[in-house]
């Protein structure tokens, strides 16, 4: 029996065929509906490969042909729920590609336009609405002034959130601080807790990270990368059981997740809320309905964070928030997690995929949005490692398997070329949200 060597991508590019990509896609679909059986996914991938070898002896299969066969194999072998999840995931990808090719005539309903107009007005009034204006102010020796203005705006928003929570405190059982990766959740959660403590309210942190499934149960791609970004990486059923009991005043046994070994240990610590305590949860997926479905929305306050930059580059295009968060995470991962920035860049497609599916669609359910963008962070990032994006752009240019990394690196590289770097970080407060990423955070 022959062997498959290549696959045709949607772009027309031919790439190496790897069976484990099929197995991983099947397993990811299974995970989305509660399945965790890798061996079955591998066996199903074998069946798909057998069909491919028979039908494509003398030609190269297209990725769509392979996906058609996967659907048929899943259904034929009695995995209808997984097949449905796989089909939905595939259709979502098709729709996403269409939306990228066709500019919608109406504004996206997921964008908080009122908030954005307010931030744009602030940016214009502080002469920080373009890279040119930012560079000019930095060159004029105004960096510390920009820090002061940015930090004050952020502090005002945290204070507003605290006041809104205070107004509803009698009905609340939990406060959810949520937002996409590297939006500043950790620092904001601690500042919010401090503000509310000063108002006389008490909170108890609920660490969602302890509810990750064992690493061995996570999907892994052909590069050995695991997807921790999806809510299905968490034991959502156990989370709901525990938060429901806690909100009823019962005691629960919290698990502990060891990130070094990738294993979860059950029943590690006792937890119970006192009569005057409220749960405080810092999580990527705080808006995802299944995360806290056991608690009524009237008993939750959902706070959403995002660096909502309103700055145009020299080509009159607005900065992409995801690019700034990518830089933030690169810095944070390299400082706090001994994680190579290259790995962060190559992993980012998982981050974005999960955000688009599991975070952004629920943005309108947030009670308040905090802008964590600090215009002064851009000159700092340029000085820190702006030159590295040029290297990554060249490295990924002809790698068809890493198109996403190339597009992001080249886009950020273009931005970095426009920004004036600034290396003196002494004027950045130690409790700044930016310290979460560059280090030196007193919180």
CA–CA distance, 194 with 34 (Å, rounded to integer): 38
For the domain bounded by 116-438, which CATH number is listed? 3.40.50.300
Label residue 238 exposed, middle or buried (CB < 10 Å: 0-12, 13-18, 19+).
Answer: middle
* Nearest CA-CA partner of 84 in 98, 70, 65, 63: 70
Residue 273 DSSP symbol: -
CA–CA distance, 426 with 437 (Å, rounded to integer): 15
* Nearest CA-CA partner of 218 in 263, 256, 283: 263
- Residue bearing the bigger pLDDT, 215 or 323: 323
At 266, which helix (H) or strand (E)? strand 263-271
- DSSP track, 28-81: HHHHHTT---HHHHHHHHHHHHHHHHHH-SSSPPBHHHHHHHHHHHHHHTT-HH
Pairing between β-strand 300-306 and β-strand 6-8 as defined by DSSP bridges: unpaired
Q: What is the pLDDT of residues 208-245, one digit of tens each?
A: 999 999 988 876 666 667 777 888 889 999 999 999 99
- Residue bearing the bigger pLDDT, 151 or 357: 151
Provide the pLDDT for residue 48.
86
In 140-272, which ranges are continuous DSSP H helix? 143-168, 185-198, 236-247
**Residue 98 in this model has a pLDDT that exceeds 70:** no
Q: What is the pLDDT of residues 166-212, one digit of tens each?
A: 999 999 999 999 999 999 999 999 999 998 888 889 999 999 999 99
Residue 214 DSSP symbol: P
3 state SS of 314: coil
Q: Which residues contact 41 (CB under 8 A, 6 or more apart)?
A: 23, 24, 26, 27, 30
Q: Residue 42's pLDDT band (boundaries 50, 70, 90)?
A: confident
Q: Tell me the C-alpha to C-alpha distance, in Å, between residue 333 and each of 131, 264, 267, 308, 339.
A: 26, 22, 29, 22, 5
Q: What is the pLDDT of residues 53-66, one digit of tens each?
A: 888 878 888 888 88
Q: What is the pLDDT of residues 324-353, one digit of tens each?
A: 999 999 999 887 766 789 999 998 988 998
Per cent of the chain over pLDDT 70 is: 93
**Residue 103 in this model has a pLDDT that exceeds 50:** no
Q: Residue 251's pLDDT band (boundaries 50, 70, 90)?
A: very high
| Angle value at C-alpha 381, between 378 and 386, nearest 5 degrees | 115
Provide the mean pLDDT of the chain: 88
**Residue 426 in this model has a pLDDT that exceeds 80:** yes
Residue 268 DSSP symbol: E
CA–CA distance, 221 with 57 (Å, rounded to integer): 26
Domain ranges of the chain: 6-101, 116-438
- Residue bearing the bigger pLDDT, 97 or 21: 21
Provide the pLDDT for residue 165.
94
Residue that has been written with the tokens 């009670």 in this structure = 367
Q: Tell me the C-alpha to C-alpha distance, in Å, between residue 233 and each of 111, 161, 237, 406, 432.
A: 27, 29, 12, 27, 30
CA–CA distance, 228 with 337 (Å, rounded to integer): 15
3 state SS of 231: helix
């Amino acid at each position: 029996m022959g062997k498959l060597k290549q696959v045709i991508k949607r772009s027309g590019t031919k790439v190496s065929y790897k069976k484990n990509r099929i197995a991983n896609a099947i397993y990811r679909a299974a995970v989305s509906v509660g399945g965790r059986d890798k061996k079955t996914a591998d066996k199903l991938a074998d069946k798909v490969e057998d069909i491919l070898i028979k039908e494509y002896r003398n030609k190269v299969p297209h990725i769509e042909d392979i996906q058609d066969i996967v659907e048929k194999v899943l259904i034929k072998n009695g995995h209808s729920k997984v097949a449905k999840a796989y089909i939905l995931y595939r259709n979502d990808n098709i729709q996403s590609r269409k939306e990228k090719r066709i500019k919608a005539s109406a504004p996206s309903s997921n964008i908080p336009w009122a908030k954005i107009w307010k931030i744009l007005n602030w940016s214009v009034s502080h002469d920080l609405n373009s890279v040119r204006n930012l560079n000019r102010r930095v060159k004029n020796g105004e960096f510390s002034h920009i820090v002061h203005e940015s930090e004050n705006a952020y502090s005002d928003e945290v204070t507003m959130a605290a006041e809104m929570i205070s107004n509803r405190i009698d009905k609340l059982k939990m406060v959810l601080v949520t937002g996409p990766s590297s939006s500043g959740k950790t620092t904001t959660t601690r500042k919010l807790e401090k503000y509310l403590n000063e108002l006389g309210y008490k909170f108890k942190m609920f660490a969602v990270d302890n509810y990750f499934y064992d690493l061995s149960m996570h999907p892994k791609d052909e590069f050995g990368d695991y997807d921790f970004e999806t809510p299905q990486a968490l034991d959502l059923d156990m989370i709901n059981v525990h938060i429901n009991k806690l909100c009823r005043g019962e005691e629960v046994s919290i698990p502990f997740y060891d990130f070094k070994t990738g294993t979860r240990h059950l029943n590690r610590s006792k937890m119970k809320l006192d009569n005057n305590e409220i749960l405080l949860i810092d999580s990527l997926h705080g808006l995802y309905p299944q995360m806290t479905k056991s608690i009524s929305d009237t008993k939750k306050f959902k706070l959403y964070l995002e660096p909502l930059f309103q700055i145009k580059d020299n080509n009159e295009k607005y900065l992409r928030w995801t690019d700034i968060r990518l830089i933030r995470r690169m810095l944070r991962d390299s400082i706090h997690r001994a994680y190579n920035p290259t790995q962060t860049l190559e992993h980012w497609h998982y981050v974005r995929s999960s955000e688009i599916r599991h975070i952004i669609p629920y943005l309108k359910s947030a009670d308040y949005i905090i802008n964590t963008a600090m215009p002064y962070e851009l000159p700092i990032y340029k000085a820190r490692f702006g030159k590295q994006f040029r290297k990554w752009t060249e490295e990924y240019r002809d790698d068809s398997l890493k198109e996403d990394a190339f597009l992001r690196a080249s886009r950020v590289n273009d931005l970095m070329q426009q920004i004036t770097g600034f290396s003196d970080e002494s004027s950045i407060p130690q409790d700044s949200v930016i310290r979460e990423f560059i280090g030196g955070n007193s919180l």
